[in-house]
Chain A
Amino acid sequence: MGKAITNINRYSVSEEEKRDKDFAEVKEAVADNKDAILKGIQLLKALEEGGTLDTAYAFTNAKRTALERVVQEISKEQYTPLLENLPSLIFLIGELDVNGIRDLTKRLNKGIEEMEQVPSDEKSNVLDVMKALKDPDVNRSLTMMLGFLRGMGRS
């Protein structure tokens, strides 16, 4: 029973009421998801202990600017070769014979160890070298090196 009206008195909730309501809502959500939230807290704790949380926080805050800066910087001409090399480098790693290199590295290390024990003023004459060839360790080293030189020349 009435004329057309358009005025609306907005329902106003006091700040306190609103906060109480929000709190109740959150409380309910917490209760409903107890396990997940506890796990979440553990996760946060782990991140905090490792210092990751601070980093992530700082990065998130500066995400847009950081990205802009990085993109701007990295787009400069001087990085072009780097950027273009980056994927090639990755592919290169894929092609390396890691086991071979590991073996070689071990041998290199051993060699260095041995080398360090040789007094710095000691000298060898041709005879010493000929004699050393009879030492199976020296002989193997030389044979391997010759093989390496052959292979490198071929490719």
Chain B
Amino acid sequence: MIERDHTVVTINGTEYLGEPGQNLLELIQSSGQSVPAICYTESLGSIQTCDTCIVQVNGELVRACGQTVEAGMSVQTELPHVHKSQKEALDRILEKHELYCTVCDYNNGSCEIHNTMAEFGLEHQSRPFQPTTYNRDESGSFYRYDPDQCILCGRCVEVCQDVQVNETLTIDWERQEPRVIWDNDVPIDQSSCVNCGQCSTVCPCNAMMEKGMEGEAGFLTDQKPGILKSMIELTKKVETGYGPLFAVSDTEAEMRESRIKKTKTVCTYCGVGCSFDVWTKDREVLKVEPHPESPANGISTCVKGKFGWDYVNSEERLQRPLLRKGDHFEEVEWEEAIGFVAKRMKEIKAEKGSDHLGFISSSKATNEESYLMQKLARQVIGTNNIDNCSRYCQTPATKGLFRTVGHGGDSGSIDDIASAELVMTIGSNTAESHPVLASRIKRSQKLFNQKLYVFDLRKHEMAKRADKFIQPKSGTDLVWLSAVTKYILDQGWEDRSFLENWVNHFEEYRESLEPFTLEYASDMTGISIEELKQLADTIAHAESVAVCWAMGVTQHMRGADTSTAISNLLLITGNYGKPGTGAYPLRGHNNVQGCSDFGSMPSFYVGYEKTTDEDVRGKYEKAWGVELPGGTGKDNHQMIEAIHDGDLSAMYVMGEDTGIVDANINYVTAAFEKLDLFIVQDLFLTKTAEYADVVLPASPSLEKDGTFTNTERRIQRLYKALEPLEGTKPDWQIIQLIAQALGFDWGYSHPSQIMEEAAGLAEMFAGVSYERLQGYQTLQWPVQADGTDEPLLFTDGFPFKDKKAKLFPLEFELQYDTSEEYDLHVNNGRLLEHFHEGNMTYKSEGIARKTPNAFIEVSEELAKERGISEGAEVKLISESGEATGVVTVTDRVKGKEIFLPLNDSGKSAVNFLTDNRVDKDTNTPAYKEIAVKMKVLKKKGKSPIPPNNHRRGHPVPQISVRVEDKWKREDYQFPGSQVRR
């Protein structure tokens, strides 16, 4: 309290209590006083470009947003000369921005210029509007810039430089007419812009606007340019004075409300779980509008979430169920398709037994749909053969965490990653795979002295930014992690009290570390002993450490063990249960976490309750009124094997292109061909669906209600923005129809009822309900019955009987290496602008024109050695298969290492090369262990990366918008001092 007593601020004669360090403008606004403010937002903080929030502080006229509250401050917001300065600033803005609101696509009630002027009561413009000599920049795919409407508030620059940290935008204050520029003044399309769209999100007006809005949002805005211009002129003539103008445009904005639907949804493109409102008009997506209160992302998005929704209205969407008839599919009615599925399932079950059927859930579908899929498998069919595609990516991480700390999810929130003193990313191409989360790290590193250590084979963006970039030999992370842990213990740098209070098996673990000497580690990993020592020093002495890892760790034969080694290191250094610490296995797809959480796993019911546990099974038998199978079922990998062995005859795959995304696809598709019954449920006729007997057309996220769980264990609701496309159905309805045809009438009419049932059964979700998840409200599991959730885990111990975590001893043996014949190592991963095999994102014209295909990254050394250059065509041959593609020569890879993006389903598909190697503990394919030889087909050619791809751009890093340069201009005068004279 004492501290607070010191920050009493007097505003217009009344005393207010400010928070220490609080921005003055914020305090003024929260005190209910009205001061105009255009450039300031809570999300971006103080930029100080618009000069409209001028107030008098202790006798001086200053920008309120540039002040931090201090005890005894005396603030005046209403004095005549204060008002006059504010008006001067507003007038200057209107010299740059023409008000033609009624015919403006941004007139949707949220235009901040409009609202500020109206609230201020500005009736007349003192000086005429002065257009610039610049043209609009319409070159980009997704948004355009209109210098004639731009007020140079610099929000777009702030967000690009310091929030997204792509560092493309600046304002050139030096030139006669300052404007926003891209890179070193190139058109938007030619720049390093990654189209995250955040500039258009934060723009207070129509200067930076999503192209989807143009000519669509207003009743009068869809006009030919000439007419629009005339109408702008007309509007100005008729609406003399701003009062009538605002009255007319406000009415028009209200009318738009009834035509444009704004629905909260959750992005489906990665595990970050960005939420936002999607604006639709009939079936058209006008724009995506994130909110400051979006819990995972705030105002941020990436190109896919902001602009990648074209697939929803793609011509290629399936609109009727398909039945295989000889050499072709036939479109049939739903009744016929469901009837066929039920009949064949029944026959196979009767003939060969329940365990001859297998089910694969989708990490893209909702929690409720995951729940129903496993319910169908277990209750209706009677098998535990149910798995999901997290098997392909994240099960090893879950395993590693279960072994040590008991919860298979991120230890904290994205906020914790952002606030950690040291962030380590291991095998994670974060900036492309989890762009919005990466931006949080980039921001903390750029502005708040966070240290970033990157461990990866490839010099991707995060590696280039890192304070330290270390390239261990592929698959050896376990070794350096263990060696560093050992060295910390040898030096006595461990967190003694944490270990004593919260950790078991210390001695046993310490002994197991014996082989992991620095010499051995250096030998295996290629990291020098000196560097290992420094690493240990930094990690042990950092106040808080958060480790993020992804497929570079998990998709190896020792993926689960390596994940365990990370957790061991965190335990030894006491980096659990405190803000800014913990383990963060970055989940790849939107619902990788939730799909497993909600029971689509061969050994778990909802909330990781074991199928082998009698009590658990009893609980479900009682709830579902049937006898349930004991033991555990087959995972994805085992199902494919079982087909080859004749032990599995039917498979039902929901929302997964297994035939592209599973490893060794030649082997997988050969299995499909052997099935007696193959049901595929998807939006499109995918590669996998081509093998199906029945294809059921599903509806994507925008067309249904449900929940997703992001990488932070955060359960978030998505609301139906569009009606299901004619002929399609949401997955939960399809599964329910099949169950019904098989004699189980579940009777759900809304996904909330499914959640209610699941929450009633699983302890972990006891307090989860749709009421508690309304709008932007979320819950991070575990959720107690009273609704208490846990944004940060382990603050009160670990979920074991004695509340203590377990150190888990590990061994290492290198099983993979390149050979003389297969002499190149193939690494693979995501591209920012594409998702998965690409059947959603390639449907976006704007994305495809900038990134039309995958490519093969080859190092400069290797290119020289093989005599190839940019645009060469090569064939990569592994022991399992071959893939061809076009080469780009880059320093992102080095030596005999090749990178191939996984986002392709054609000849460049990486899974033609992968084999049946799996993680020894979880059967996750070792996608990252591929040795190939390269055959050159063509020595050079056209680069696979088009000239307008952002990878060719030249970012211009700086901090914020450099408003000081504006103030230095000769023609600039602070409105306050102008008024005084």
Spell out A's residues near B (CB within 8 Å). Answer: 1-11, 67-68, 71-72, 74-75, 80, 83-84, 86-88
Give min CB distance, A34 to chain B, whole Å: 23
The answer to whether A83 touches B328 (Cβ under 8 A) is: no
Q: List 29 A-B contacts (CB under 8 A).
A: A1-B674, A1-B675, A2-B673, A3-B673, A4-B669, A4-B687, A4-B690, A4-B691, A5-B328, A7-B329, A8-B322, A8-B329, A8-B331, A9-B330, A10-B331, A11-B320, A11-B330, A11-B331, A68-B227, A71-B231, A72-B227, A74-B234, A75-B233, A75-B234, A80-B237, A83-B238, A84-B237, A87-B238, A87-B241
Is residue B230 within 8 Å, beta carbon to beta carbon, of the partner chain? Answer: yes
- Which listed residue (A1, A9, A71, A74) contacts B328, Cβ 8 A? A9
Contact B237 A11 (CB under 8 A): no
Task: Output the least CB separation between B947 and chain A (Å).
Answer: 34
Which B positions have Cβ atoms within 8 angstroms of A?
Answer: 220, 223-224, 227, 230-231, 233-234, 237-241, 244, 320, 322, 324-325, 327-333, 669, 673-676, 678, 685, 687, 690-691, 693
User: Once the chains are docked, how many angstroms separate the CA of A67 from the CA of B221?
Assistant: 12
12 further A-B contacts with Cβ under 8 Å, apart from A67-B220, A87-B244, are: A1-B678, A1-B693, A4-B687, A5-B328, A7-B329, A8-B329, A9-B331, A71-B227, A74-B234, A83-B237, A87-B238, A87-B239
B382 to chain A, nearest CB (A): 23
Complex CA gap A74/B236 in Å reads 13
A9 is contacted by which of B224, B237, B329 (Cβ under 8 Å)? B329
CB contacts (< 8 Å) of B331 on chain A: these are: 8-11
**A143-B227 Cα distance, complex, nearest whole Å:** 57
A88 to B238, CA, bound (A): 10
Contact (A1, B234) CB under 8 Å given A7-B329, A9-B325, A11-B332: no
- 5 closest A-B pairs by CB: A11-B331, A4-B690, A7-B328, A83-B237, A75-B230
B563 CB to closest chain A CB, in angstroms?
Answer: 36
Interface contact tally, CB-CB below 8 A: 71
Q: Decide: A5 and B690 in contact? CB cutoff 8 A.
A: yes
Tell me if A5 and B230 are in contact (CB < 8 A).
Answer: no
Please state if B327 and A7 are interface contacts (CB–CB under 8 Å): yes
The complex places the Cα of A88 from the Cα of B675 at a distance, in Å, of: 81
A86 vs B239: C-alpha distance in the bound complex, in angstroms? 10
A7's nearest neighbour on chain B, judged by CB, is: B328
Distance between Cα atoms of A10 and B318 in the complex (Å): 11
Bound Cα distance A67, B325 (Å): 55
Asked, given contacts A9-B328, A11-B330, A71-B230, whether A1 binds B238 with beta carbons under 8 Å apart, the answer is no
Contact A83 B234 (CB under 8 A): yes
With a cutoff of 8 Å between Cβ atoms, the chain A residues found around residue B330 in the complex are 8-9, 11
Measured in the bound complex, the distance between the Cα atoms of B239 and A10 in whole Å is 56
| B676 CB contacts on chain A under 8 angstroms | 1
- Closest B residue to A82 by beta carbon equals B237
Q: In the complex, which residue of chain B has the Cβ closest to the Cβ of A12?
A: B331
Question: Are A6 and B690 within 8 A (Cβ)?
Answer: yes
A5 / chain B contacts, CB cutoff of 8 Å: 324, 327-329, 690
A84 partner residues in chain B, CB cutoff 8 A = 237, 240
In the assembly, what is the distance between CA of A74 and CA of B237, in Å? Answer: 11
Contacts of A86 in B (CB 8 A): 238
Expressed in whole angstroms, the minimum distance between the Cβ of A95 and any Cβ of chain B is 15
Q: Which residue of A lies closest to B687 (CB)?
A: A4
Contacts of B233 in A (CB 8 A): 75
Output the least CB separation between B59 and chain A (Å): 41
Bound: A83/B331 CA distance, A? 61
What is the bound-complex CA distance between A71 and B227, given in angstroms? 7
Q: How far is the CB of B377 from chain A (nearest CB, A)?
A: 21
Report the separation of the CA atoms of residues A9 and B325 in the bound assembly, to the nearest whole angstrom: 9
Interfacial chain A residues near B320, Cβ < 8 Å: 11
The CA-CA distance from A88 to B330 in the complex, in Å, is: 70
Complex: A71 Cα to B234 Cα, angstroms: 8
Contacts of B241 in A (CB 8 A): 87
